[in-house]
Amino acid sequence: MQKKNGFTLLELIVAMAIIAVLMGLSLFGIQSVQRSQRDTERRAALSNINLEVAAYYGDNGSYPTVTFNVTNSTVTVGSKTLSLKGAAKIIKPGPSNTTGTTYCYTGAGQATYQLGVYLEGTESWGSVGTAQQLGNATTACTAITY
């Protein structure tokens, strides 16, 4: 009787199981990197908005009205409009997801302000340069302006 060369059914099942586990692990890693990239875009948008808020304060002595437009994903700081793209697009209040971001701002006409963005990776209010939000107000940014 000749010995046949080839794989047994058990060997094929084990190989497929190993491949499935490796694919699952790589998918988890890819999702984590994508989430981190979206948060980086959000932080960059927050930094741009913060620069405009600071420039307005320098010109006028008080913080501006900041309007977030959900329809076309723009932010109006005083009279200047910024366009947000990618993960920085705006959605209505709620947790961040792949289609947009929740931003927060308080301080129109005041001497203090808070500006924040909801980050996907940390599932908490976050910002650039501080633990929670940008700004010089002592109270946390909780109001969402739309």
Cα 116–Cα 119–Cα 123 angle in degrees, nearest 5: 115
Query: How many domains does the chain fold into?
Result: 1
Full residue range of the structural domain in which residue 82 is found: 9-135
| CB 141, CB 114: distance < 8 Å | yes
Residue 93 has pLDDT above 90, yes or no: no
In terms of pLDDT, which residue wins out, 37 or 142? 37
Residue 98 has pLDDT above 60, yes or no: no
Question: Tokens for 32?
Answer: 């984590």
In whole angstroms, what is the distance from residue 110 CA to residue 77 CA? Answer: 14
110 inside domain: yes
63 inside domain: yes
4 inside domain: no
Query: Quick one: pLDDT at residue 146?
Result: 44
140 inside domain: no
142 inside domain: no
pTM of the model: 0.69
Strand residue runs (E) in the chain? 66-69, 74-77, 80-83, 103-106, 114-119, 124-126, 134-135
